[in-house]
Amino acid sequence: MHIRTVTPKPAARVHLIGFPGAGGSQTHFRRWDSALGPWIRLSVVDPWSLYFAAQAAEVDSLPDLASLLLPELAVSDSRFVLAGHSFGALLAYETARQLDEGRHGDRLAGLVAMAQRAPTTPAPERISHLGDDRLLRFLRDMGGTPEEVFAEPELLDLLLGRLRDEIRLSERYRDTRAEPLDRPLRVYFGDQDSGIAPIEARKWTKSVTGDHVLRTFPGGHFFPFDDFQVVSALLEDTLTKEPLHDIQN
């Protein structure tokens, strides 16, 4: 099992599933749980569980990684919204495409993409080949990693290995499907995220059609987890509106 529910909520009408970024943690999304209230159940992809499963299966592409999540999602007893941050946005998108193509698209209520280029856009730069010292500097510069991780050499080595693999999968990924995904879309960007150009928000609408909302927030790459501004936007834009593919049915 690679998808973990944060708090069981029997009365929940919405199931939100978070996809962490490259080298990221479940903790980032778990902070949202209390602000989502009793009607929204939050689950998060466990990036370490998925990483070790990918290693065992010798996964070498983002579509193959997404396929590891399908068995859990295909048997879900409720519709869900997939919300991905950074690398997780591409993984959530590819997972959504495979669900739709595998006749499980009726379970998918919508997609939220945060801090990531559009799936049809090539990676602006390639950093997975960098040496450990430069990759470590990149990790520090991006923020979002607890300082105590940098004080644990064995954990840090493991994290750098996972970060490199996930960045490499992201760099290689470019969706070439002829038909877009017909689902509601929410695209969120940080106004100080130097790695993602604002124009990428509009390019997402070429890959996903239907009702869409584009928003820019104050903050850098980890803006979704700086405070509850993104949760408030989700509640307004996505999770409490009937048009989002009949989410409450």
CATH code reported for the domain at 3-239: 3.40.50.1820
| Alpha helices for the chain (secondary structure H) | 26-30, 33-36, 47-56, 62-67, 70-74, 87-101, 132-142, 153-172, 199-207, 229-234
Rounded Cα distance, 115 and 230, in Å? 12
Mapped onto helix, strand or coil, the DSSP state of residue 84 is: strand
Q: What is the pLDDT of residue 191?
A: 92
Query: Checking DSSP bridges between strand 14-19 and strand 80-85, what pairing results, if any?
Result: parallel
**Average pLDDT along the chain, 249 residues, taken 10 residues at a time:** 93 92 93 91 96 96 97 86 97 96 86 95 85 83 77 84 94 94 93 84 89 91 91 79 43
Q: What is the pLDDT of residue 128?
A: 85
| Amino acid in position 93 | Y
Query: Domain segments of the chain: what residues?
Result: 3-239
Q: What is the pLDDT of residue 242?
A: 43
Q: What is the pLDDT of residue 199?
A: 82
pTM to 2 decimals?
Answer: 0.92
Q: What is the pLDDT of residue 239?
A: 60
Q: Residue by residue, what is the 3-state secondary structure of 105-155?
A: HHHEEEEEEECCCCCCCCCCCCCCCCCHHHHHHHHHHHCCCCHHHHHCHHH
Q: What is the pLDDT of residue 238?
A: 65
Give the single-character DSSP code of 55: H
Closest CA to 180 of 122, 96, 249, 115: 96
Q: What is the pLDDT of residue 245?
A: 45
Instruction: State whether the Cα torsion 120-128-137-25 is positive or negative.
Output: positive
Rounded Cα distance, 234 and 174, in Å? 27
Rounded Cα distance, 73 and 225, in Å? 25
